[in-house]
Amino acid sequence: MRDQWNSRIGFILASIGSAVGLGNIWRFPTVTAENGGGAFLFVYLIVVLIIGVPVMIIELTLGRKSQTNVVSTFDTLTNHPFWSKIGFIGLISALVVLSFYAVIAGWVILYFFFALVGRLSLTSANDLLVFFDTMIAHPYLSTLGLIIFLTFTLLIVMTGVSKGIERFSKFSMPSVIILLIILFARTITLEGSFEGLIWFLSPRLEDVTLSVALNAIGQVFFSFSLGMGILLTYGSYLAKDTNIPSNSLIISISDVLVAILAGAIVIPALFAFNLELETGPGLIFVTIPAVFNTLPLGSLWTSVFFLLLAFAALTSSVSFLEVLTAYTVDKFKQPRKNATILATFSVFILGLPSALAAGPLDFFTVRGMNFLDLVDTFSSTVLLPLSGLLIVLFTGWVWGNKTAIKEIQQGAPAFNEENLIASLWSILVKYLIPLAILYIFITGFLAG
């Protein structure tokens, strides 16, 4: 018998913990700024509804049905030589994404320390940008951040699923949200910020392009932790009477709200401080301290913020590592401890070039992107949508929609023909989602 979640709330919190992280607070505002503000938000919300929520339901359902890790799930459900192997893409994505995620999270930890010792009390946004650029170019600092972050992740995962992850999620999430609300209240009273809020919230349809749509899909997958077998693995620890659709809704809504809250802070701040829309990965590392520095005890606020953000990143990274560990335990029959260490070490090796990307490896660029940006863009616009596409096609056409619906109905009796979403389900899963991903994937990619 596999380990099971101790409580419903434990599962929800851990899943929200996995979903809410750097993807919402660091990545969402950055991608939104680069992709037209409200135009991006508009497409993002549509993608959430027609792709994000259904794919989340599918992943949890597949996991609960097969009761195993992401790779074996497909093996258990089919013997087809191709379809039984698609879980590998999820596994590889988890490895690749965690490798750069841990680098960013490492910067967050370093920022906690720098704020604590008062190094971020600079008043001009430009000075803060220079500080950030100098820090990430420093090879030892970036690597140190990576090591510290991975060590924490390792320690948490080693203590086991229900104990480690549930306990951790319970206190970190609410605290992050409280701090974000305070930040929002401050930002919105800064001069010039209101214009930014309008730019963020108004859906200018004329600015929607295929590349905006592709980025929106990538962001939804990234933010919802989809396509990497994470929710699949979490689903495998679920009891049969859990209501998967309603839980998926709760997780999705929470995730979207945090992203919008972060956007409503960072984008108006970007306007207030006259930063460029293309500031890139440093955006929150500049705007957040800049906003806090307008308050008394700014450095203290900044350090608490980055500490909490590091916690939010940890509840996400433990979920990545959980996928890799669950696979290693089941596949190589390794004790959990060895499996976790092995997985962490692989992530570290893969993460090194990202840690060095803005320093010694800055000569390496493709289309203007350094190694880290490249891995980030490649995973969210190629690996994750591809993995999602295969998972959806598998469910609609190979495993079979009828079987899927039967499994979803366990714990969710209302998921039947009288329910609008359930009656649209087959069309969504068999046609609409795969075609939408495929179309945007190919055309958006060709359009560069």
Chain residues binding ligand PFF by CB under 6 A are 18-19, 21-24, 94, 97, 222-223, 225, 228, 230, 316, 319-320
Q: Which is nearer to ligand PFF, 23 or 359 (CB)?
A: 23
CB of 193 to ligand PFF, least distance (A): 24
Q: Which among 224, 223, 237 is positioned nearest to 73, based on CA atoms? A: 237
Whole-angstrom distance, CA of residue 285 vs CA of residue 262 = 13
**Cβ 189 to ligand PFF, closest distance in Å?**
28
| Shortest distance (Å) from residue 133 CB to ligand PFF | 23
Is the separation of the CB atoms in 216 and 47 below 8 Å? yes
**Which residues, at least 6 apart from 360, have a Cβ–Cβ distance to it below 8 Å?**
139
Q: Which is nearer to ligand PFF, 145 or 359 (CB)?
A: 145
For ligand PFF, the closer CB: 86 or 272: 86
Q: Which is nearer to ligand PFF, 155 or 432 (by Cβ)? A: 155
DSSP-derived letter for residue 25 is I
Kindly state the smallest distance separating residue 225's Cβ from ligand PFF, in Å: 4
Q: Which amino acid is at 364?
A: F
- Provide the minimum distance between the beta carbon of 104 and ligand PFF in the complex, in angstroms, as a whole number: 9
Contacts of residue 60, defined as CB under 8 A and 6 or more positions apart, other chains included, come to 231, 232, 234, 235, 238, 244, 247, 248
24 versus 287: smaller Cβ distance to ligand PFF = 24
Measured from each CB, the residue nearest to ligand PFF is 23
Nearer residue to ligand PFF within complex by CB, 242 or 380: 380
CA angle (278 as vertex; 272, 279 as ends), nearest 5: 65
Q: C-beta of 229: minimal distance to ligand PFF in Å?
A: 8
> Of 19 and 389, which CB lies nearer to ligand PFF in the complex structure?
19
Residue 23 vs 263, nearer CB to ligand PFF? 23
DSSP states of 100-154: HHHHHHHHHHHHHHHHHTTTT----HHHHHHHHHHHHH-HHHHHHHHHHHHHHHH
Helices (H) and strands (E) in the chain, counts: 22, 0
Instruction: Give the span between the Cα atoms of 260 and 255, in whole angstroms.
Output: 9
In this structure, are residues 105 and 27 in contact, taking their beta carbons and an 8 Å threshold? no
Least distance between ligand PFF and beta carbon 1 (Å): 25
| CB-CB neighbours of 161 under 10 Å | 24
- Return d(Cα 250, Cα 325) in angstroms, integer: 27
**Closest separation in Å from C-beta 227 to ligand PFF:** 8
Two structure tokens written together for 186: 């401050």
